[in-house]
Structure 1
């Protein structure tokens, strides 16, 4: 790809602090904690979903919380925000006088470089990369969705109504499977990932090259979640959350209710408090997965309501928002941390319980990234990954 700079009149410079809306940055910064809780557990257990199959004591609670609020529920938030960001970027370029063709060129270059970032990330650090999938979905959205009218974008609302009906149908199947459960009780076990259990970095790299394409293909379907973010951004819902309080309340209640109720049965199995056969566990796992996408709009709406109620930007809010402004750097920093702290061929930390280790490391790494991002914001420094991406695009 060419990295020749566009003429200065054809694009806007970096977003200034005064221009930034609080809600998107706060959402991205806070939700990196949930991403960390999910991915650190995958590293620690060398598989997915990253839970102790025979939990005891506090491990039961950790499994319950992780499966109810985190797994398959964190990444849809970033899918919503990715769609939101596409519209924000296009709007800023148009406001600076860029033509439709120039805006499309900028977005396509950005998406292309995201694919490249994702390939490097997945090859060198972690197979469960989402950057490449974002790049692919971004190209599709740029070419097919962004320049459509409001009537066309209402289609996505109908799709989400259908998704609600599908979750209800899946829930009925899961309940039926539980009622008909007759075999021996099956625990929730981790599906192994060879790259996470590899004994050397070289072995892990080869394994990641095999795992990454399948993982990326499996998550491209979240284009419908991205499209919902595009719809919300066209209405500037997060720029003016107080104006859209009623809508945000409905979405938060509906989205989080669906995602929590859909994930709770599997969480009870993971905690060792619900005993069903293997067929029922599989059915509950699928219900947890399909209901998890509603965590995207649910969490986004919840944070929108929080921002609408904030009277001032406290220090914690500023620090977490600073991380949100540098979410790409924060995301990549996490993968470096997991590799250094948890891989079998590096420090391979063990704090007495794998579940405790994963949770504590995730919290610690997130706090370090928050502090680092806040320090950069005090110096008016962009994140290193964001700086590189901008140079490559422009």
Structure 2
């Protein structure tokens, strides 16, 4: 044994990747499972070359799919990853502190690299990148939030309460002002997804990415909420927080689903309203979607508790293996959508059915690939690269 490998058990456990046996199931299960929802949202965005990626005049089964996507997926998936990102910042800091490394420098370097990863992802594949925004928020969180005390972190609960109150106010105004009409859900076009050549799509994405990144930076409140949860080990110790997880899952998801219901009914063509009412429904849908972050995370915490070590199932473990490689899985999806949907490749867009089927198949394929990598003890390529650039050899 060389001198470089003679370390204390704590240092060995914290300086390298977390061994599978030491990982909590809930975070990996949440990341892996919610990548399916990310796939559903982004495949639809590519298929219709715009957001939200819904057919404005649905028929038959399209009505059901529109209702499902609007109720459970759109504006409801990415807050989960914001929660998990904040949770991960605390976990990384805790392990870095235990290993005796320069925690602040490590986190700043890692988040700066995420901005670089995001810029590359947005330039080469998809303007709707979140990695750059995570990196920027991660830098802010490291500098301003990480080393604060418990009393300071209680502020985020107050801010979260204000967001919930705003949803109630928006819903009340919508109820008072709703009018019938013939407005339909329309997709806001994204030029990069409709470009006829790869070169022109790059030019479009370079212009689109900064604005998109700026528009999602306010999710720092959701990231901060994840940091609050991480400081309390809520997902590592779900049994000790069972009551909290149940209350958050029921309450937050109820707000998310009820807040999105008017818009979902309009998207499904079940109700018909005027343009002003549809705009208000869209705003309520987006605002209530923020509750999907804590709601879904709490639900996955309860699922992890249900499928504890003595009762784990192969399917649960397979989804968790993808969660351990969520960065690679996320980037793999963007490659798949580019191959399948853009005009200068297979150009399979324009159909809700095709987008939905492609999302499920691509996600399932990524689960299988992640499981195969797990059996060979290989990390995801994006995770490997990020770690190598962050920590060196």
Task: Report TM bin, short chain.
Answer: over 0.9
Distance apart, 1:124 and its partner CA: 0.5
Residues 154-165 of structure 1 mapped to structure 2, 5 A cutoff = 154-165=154-165
Cross-structure match for 1:274 = 271
Cross-structure match for 1:290 = 287
C-alpha distance after superposition, 1:3-60 (max 9, x if no partner): xxxxx97971111112211000000000000000000000000000000011000000
Cross-structure match for 1:239 = 236
C-alpha distance after superposition, 1:181-209 (max 9, x if no partner): 25x41011111110111111111111111
Choose which of 196, 210, 227 in structure 2 pairs with 1:230: 227
DSSP 3-state at the match of 2:311: coil
Work out the CA distance in 2 between the residues paired with 1:97 and 1:216: 34
C-alpha distance after superposition, 1:259-284 (max 9, x if no partner): 00011100100000010000000000
Work out the CA distance in 2 between the residues paired with 1:173 and 1:194: 34
Work out the CA distance in 1 between the residues paired with 2:279 and 2:290: 18
Native 8 Å contact 1:322 1:374 kept in 2? yes
DSSP 3-state at the match of 1:242: helix
C-alpha distance after superposition, 1:119-144 (max 9, x if no partner): 00001000000000000000000000
1:170 aligns with 2:170: yes
Cross-structure match for 1:46 = 49
Work out the CA distance in 1 between the residues paired with 2:128 and 2:22: 33
Choose which of 63, 83, 105 in structure 2 pairs with 1:60: 63
Residues 162-241 of structure 1 mapped to structure 2, 5 A cutoff = 162-178=162-178, 181=179, 184-241=181-238
DSSP 3-state at the match of 2:347: coil
Work out the CA distance in 2 between the residues paired with 1:165 and 1:22: 32
How many residues matched?
A: 379
1:385 aligns with 2:388: no
Cross-structure match for 1:30 = 33
Cross-structure match for 1:4 = none
TM norm structure 2: 0.95
Work out the CA distance in 1 between the residues paired with 2:20 and 2:295: 27
1:363 aligns with 2:360: yes
Work out the CA distance in 2 between the residues paired with 1:152 and 1:28: 28
Residues 80-119 of structure 1 mapped to structure 2, 5 A cutoff = 80-98=83-101, 102-119=102-119
Point out 4+ residue stretches in structure 1 off by more than 2 angstroms: 8-11
1:19 aligns with 2:18: no
DSSP 3-state at the match of 2:377: coil
Native 8 Å contact 1:49 1:190 kept in 2? yes
Cross-structure match for 1:312 = 311
Distance apart, 1:96 and its partner CA: 1.8
Deviating more after overlay: 157-166 vs 55-64: 157-166
Distance apart, 1:174 and its partner CA: 1.6
Work out the CA distance in 2 between the residues paired with 1:268 and 1:177: 17
Any gaps of 5 or more consecutive residues in structure 2?
1-6
Any gaps of 5 or more consecutive residues in structure 1?
1-7
Cross-structure match for 2:347 = 348
DSSP 3-state at the match of 1:244: helix
Work out the CA distance in 1 between the residues paired with 2:222 and 2:275: 30
Native 8 Å contact 1:79 1:225 kept in 2? yes
C-alpha distance after superposition, 1:334-391 (max 9, x if no partner): 00000001111101126xx700000000000000000000000000000000000011
Work out the CA distance in 2 between the residues paired with 1:53 and 1:235: 44
Deviating more after overlay: 159-168 vs 354-363: 159-168
1:337 aligns with 2:303: no
Cross-structure match for 2:4 = none
Deviating more after overlay: 194-203 vs 53-62: 194-203
TM norm structure 1: 0.94
Work out the CA distance in 1 between the residues paired with 2:160 and 2:382: 33
Residues 127-146 of structure 1 mapped to structure 2, 5 A cutoff = 127-146=127-146
DSSP 3-state at the match of 2:265: helix
